[in-house]
Structure 1
Amino acid sequence: MKVLAMAVVALALSGTAARAADPRYPNWPCTQAKVPEISLAAVWAGPALDDAETKWKNDAKITALVAKLSARKTPMDEAEKSVKDFLAASSTDKTNNAKLLFAGLFDTLNAQRSQVMNGLERVSRKQREAADKIREETIQLQALQGATPRDETRVEALSNELIWKTRIFEDRNKVVRFVCEVPTTIDQRLFALGRVIQQELD
């Protein structure tokens, strides 16, 4: 009975995730609404980026700084200080460098978001397949347990398999819930760094 209870819990979690998903994106497993891309207007009120959107990759200093600022392991206070120090040293090219820097951050962080979100949807598809398999094997186990004569070897083997699959399913669900926060964290990082860049231009 414990095995069946575990399987029921796993399937309940699966059902909750499915109901919470945005119907426009059937594979999206998060309670947060899926926003495929960050809108430039939502995070930047500075000067028009123009050709900075493509030219930032040609500047070695900008690309190195973008890589550092985009890394989630870089603390936000350190990232904001790096932006201020870089722009303070820019003097004559301050506006241009600010545009290049933000264009790089916008491009890079949007790409990070897409990668995370695509990964979440891949895992969601696998979880749906796993839930179907658990459901099928739960029905098989119930049939084996009610059979006469009862094949204890097969009952035990299928029980152990269900325990293992259910635990994996539950562990993946925990990871998904954690990773669902990442796109929002990326949004917040881009917004905060964009704000610092704009403040340095004022």
Structure 2
Amino acid sequence: MTTPLRRLTAAALAALLAGASLAPQAFAQGAQAPAAAPAADGPKTPLPAPTPRAAQPGGDRRAAADPDWPCIQPKVGALGYGQMWSGPPLEQALETWRQDEAVADLVPVIVARRTKPEEAAAAIDKFAKDAGAEKNAKLTLLFAGAFEELNTTRSAILAGIERYARKQRALSEKIKQESLKLASERKDMATQNSPEFQQKEQARDWDTRIYDERSQALTYVCESPVILEQLAFTLGREIQARMD
């Protein structure tokens, strides 16, 4: 059975790339709002404070404290290919790889996360054999295309994570203000028992639930840039292994 969290993680990643915010519809259909809970000062799982980390060589590896970066993993900007590619320079290949039809067709296949490692390796192997005397040049174009596509996707995810974090902070502040207002109104017994108060309390609890579910989804989303970086290294190794 699919859990609400698994449904939400997929929705969260799509929302990141689209720049959208998650709404109650991201939860299972027919889900009920949580029962009223005692007033609190804010969400149960506030965003973690960013941790400063030392800069690393290779690419735009920025790790300075960033209020918009909520992940435990250090923020690594645009990747540099120097650490994952020891073949010919890629400057020209990065400009021309789309002009080669075979390369342009294969790149989306090998960078797709649904493609298994052994399937990508087999596709690269066949591509290298079909390239004949142009094998090295064609493989260079292939890595250039894969590297550029992965870098572009990573950049979109990084920007999405930062948007996500800003929305979480805004929601956290909203929950805090809702809780303070409810705590003040709870002092009046007549107000506390009114339908309006119950609706406000339920709305606060629903916001808290959304915040907590988003925070769990963020753990999954934060792994995506690292996974794509690892894939770039893997593809670089597989492609270079077939070069003369």
- TM-score w.r.t. the length of structure 1 is 0.90
Matched, 1:130 2:171: yes
8 Å Cα contact 2:97-2:141 kept in structure 1: yes
Residue of 155, 160, 165 corresponding to 2:197? 155
Measured against aligned partners, the alpha-carbon deviations of 1:84-123 in whole angstroms (never above 9, x if no partner) come to 1111221110110011001001110000101111111111
8 Å Cα contact 1:28-1:120 kept in structure 2: yes
Matched, 1:143 2:184: yes
Number of the residue aligned with 2:138:
97
Matched, 1:171 2:205: no
Deviation at 1:12, TM superposition (A): 4.5
Number of the residue aligned with 1:80:
121
8 Å Cα contact 2:50-2:71 kept in structure 1: no
Number of the residue aligned with 2:236:
194
Give the AA of the match of 2:83. A
Q: 2-side partners of 1:20 and 1:174: how far apart?
A: 19
Q: Unpaired runs of 5+ in structure 1?
A: none
Residue of 8, 15, 18 corresponding to 2:49? 18
Measured against aligned partners, the alpha-carbon deviations of 1:1-49 in whole angstroms (never above 9, x if no partner) come to 96246x55x634224x234586532211110000011111121111222
Q: Unpaired runs of 5+ in structure 2?
A: 1-34, 53-62
Matched, 1:43 2:84: yes
Matched, 1:113 2:154: yes
Number of the residue aligned with 2:227:
185
8 Å Cα contact 1:20-1:29 kept in structure 2: no
Q: 1-side partners of 2:231 and 2:121: how far apart?
A: 10
Any idea what SS the aligned residue of 1:193 has?
Answer: helix
Deviation at 1:189, TM superposition (A): 0.8
- TM-score w.r.t. the length of structure 2 is 0.76
Q: 2-side partners of 1:26 and 1:82: how far apart?
A: 42
Give the AA of the match of 1:171. E
Any idea what SS the aligned residue of 2:78 has?
Answer: coil
Measured against aligned partners, the alpha-carbon deviations of 1:42-66 in whole angstroms (never above 9, x if no partner) come to 2111122241110101111111100
Identity level (%): 32
Task: Give the number of the structure whose residues are more often helix, by fraction.
Answer: 1
Structure 2 vs 1, CA of residues 80 and 128 (structure 1 numbering), >3 Å: closer, same or farther? same
Give the AA of the match of 2:96. K
How many residues are aligned here? 199
8 Å Cα contact 1:141-1:159 kept in structure 2: yes
Deviation at 1:74, TM superposition (A): 0.9
8 Å Cα contact 2:50-2:67 kept in structure 1: no
Deviation at 1:147, TM superposition (A): 2.8
Q: 1-side partners of 2:161 and 2:181: how far apart?
A: 30
Query: Which deviates further from its counterpart, 76-85 or 99-108?
Result: 76-85
Q: 1-side partners of 2:227 and 2:109: how far apart?
A: 16
8 Å Cα contact 1:3-1:162 kept in structure 2: no
Give the AA of the match of 1:146. K
